[in-house]
Structure 1
Amino acid sequence: MIYEDLLSFWIAFFLWELIPSSFSWEFSPYLKILLFISKELFFCLSLIFIARRAGSGNERSYFYVEKIFLLFSFIFYSFDLAFFGLKKFLSPYYFSVFPALFWFFHYYILIKIAFYRFRIGYFRILLGLILPFLILIFMEEVLDFFKISFPGQFFLLLLGVISLSPYLVIKIWPVKRLPDGPLREVIDKFLRQERLNLRDYYILPPLGPRFYTAGVLGFIPPFRYLFFSSGILEIMDLKEILGILAHEAGHLRKRHGLYLLLVLLTFPIFILNAFYLFLFTFLILFDDLNGLDKFLQGPYAIFFDIALIIFFLSLAISFFRIIFAYFLRSLEREADLYALSRLKDPEPMTSAFYKLGEITGQLFRKSWHHYGLMERILYLNYAFQRPDLIKAHSVKLRRRLLLWILMNVIIVAFFTYLGADIFERILKIFFP
């Protein structure tokens, strides 16, 4: 759930960044107002009606209906930016991304309320998760406002934000400190054995149905925190909580935060490579660039605008739901295998997963970012009989990560060398 929320806002941000501010199709203002009101009414009324009907059906239909509405939110948001001129209106101003993301949030919050009826505390969780991202944007805008720049600016800001922001996140989240007692003693002892330092441990209150989670927040020990949802602590015994803790220790010991950051940093390169291919296609279709310019000034240019929006949206969703999701699942599996190697027994984790699946009704559901709970149970039992899989999985994961990074860097370097001047001319035609 939290992964999906966070990635949805990432996609909304990149749509804002990628859709040109020159987009704003010329139609009658009255027609635009009518279409805008119709869009909002359609989204709200269909959400209320369909979500209620889907809720009375089976779990699978409920899941897919929610995803369809999420897709509609991206489509409508893209059309708000382009067709209704939101990007063109906001882009001349500093900090314009914040009202744009807030506008996307009005779609997103309606979906969450209609399908999950989350309490307000959940949106404090969501705000905390996107806070580092918002701080990074804010600092970039401030430096731009004062005309300040320096080498490696983005990466230095990114390093500072991801290192220090967990302290602010914990202040925003509706958490309470894990009280002294047997559980805290078990956690302290295990973390000492793992040579891991965390600042403190926290409990998330009940925030809505199916909200059962645990994790580690932060990259560096002075600002690194362990948290459990209250539901986890209510249904798990000490042995099962130890299994969950060993899994989280696996993320830390294997430096998964760094690997996820590397994958995320390939996203703009991936987009650039795909866009180069897009431009290359137009270069083949239009040998004469004047013909391309004439086409984009003609009556069919609107279809190009729509195609470009769909192209950017498809790229963003494909990256996160295919590429990023693959590495997420692989890292989750490595953390499971690490816990297995430390505990020498799959039962603490498999028992915990089974309880989670039973209470949430998601035991047999597939997961795009973690593997399904039953898949993880079966694999852990299989890996217990094949200890060689633990090292083999880690080697395969790192090789594929390296291959993905190198492939993107080589392709973008190739296209840049091949014809940077030609691509620059085409870009000026597209985005005058």
Structure 2
Amino acid sequence: MRTAESRTPPGPCPADLRRPGRPGERNNGEGRGRSAPRTVYRTESPVTSTERGIAAAEAHSAHNYHPLPVVVATAEGAWMTDVEGRRYLDMLAGYSALNFGHGNRRLLDAARAQLERVTLTSRAFHHDRFADFCTQLAELCGMELVLPMNTGAEAVETAVKTARKWGYQVKGVPDGRAKIVVADHNFHGRTTTIVSFSTDPEARADFGPYTPGFEIVPYGDLAAMESALDDTTVAVLLEPIQGEAGVLVPPPGYLAGVRELTRSRNVLFIADEIQSGLGRTGRTFACEHEGVVPDMYVLGKALGGGVVPVSAVVSSREVLGVFAPGEHGSTFGGNPLACAVALEVLAMLRTGEFQQQAMELGEHLHSELGLLVGGGAVDAVRGRGLWAGVDINPSRGTGREISEQLMERGVLVKDTHGATIRLAPPLVISKEDLDWGLDQLRGVLGAEG
């Protein structure tokens, strides 16, 4: 097996700067990946010191995040460069918002062209990108209607409102009694309604009173799901793979079983594919791994390519047709700039290239990670495609500690729930770069041999 120092780190750079991301070393070379060389217009960073940048942020922003101590200035492909010139391999990709890499030329060109035309009309007027966006996204999902929003949480809130309204108007549930079934360990956002059905104490504590109308069942337990469904149930809301929980993949047949239960009980199956969708798992949607088509997709993150926030609820005419003008909306939802970028995302997804890349490199990723299990450093590995949750043996440190050690070696990941780290590199990452990142993980874990 390769060791962490057994080969030259990837990415073209001067011969004397061959270790991207190491403390005190600087590299201004371009990152590798599929993006062709392009002209980049940069302004000088207002921050020149990591320490000063972090201190200013801590002094003037609410402390609702605990970022790693790095201040990013530029990025391209799968690589980031901090304010002091150190390079890092991005193995998080903005929680899958950056599936197509940093600075993707096609997406930036689409955004730049639209910036010269019109960026916002509000939904008070039509604009010339909206119909194409809705039509093409509906076609990608095999559905009929699209309700565009901006953030993932907005889209989930929209899905909840849609399901309740459908339940009252179409299914005939008595007013005020609509119930939505969700799974424990879920993550669908952090708005008041959404944290009302969270089982994460950090997300939920001190934010009551909580919104009623939800029942929580164990993730992956089909019998519990069946018991929870009754005549007032309007929807089941699930992540096909739970990302924030540690990239939890349900048992084989679970999603198909939920699909059959919901169909037989006249209940909507809502798939939150905000993190799992749009190529991440090796398919366009994670539901496809079990041949499942839900009644509703909730999409976001990669839909905007990491350039602009774009989210959407996609469903049938029967379901989304329940809305009348004035009952729901968003000033920025479906704006011209968002539609222009999302249309380019959809065009790239139609090639199948990114799904294939995620599938092929994902097999390699999981094969290599699997070799770490049982050696005392890693307890378990889960995931699909270019997405993995790695449970670190507590004897080797917490997920945060491992993440900080990887940062010192030039790799950026994110911890979750104590002892787990998540790996989700941009789908444009090269095999060479991926292998280099895995070498650094082996080095941190002392698993070089």
| Fold-level similarity (TM above 0.5) | no
TM-score, normalization: structure 2? 0.25
Kindly indicate which of the two structures has a greater share of residues assigned to helix: 1
More strand by share: 2
* TM-score scaled by length of structure 1: 0.26
Which structure has the larger Rg? 1
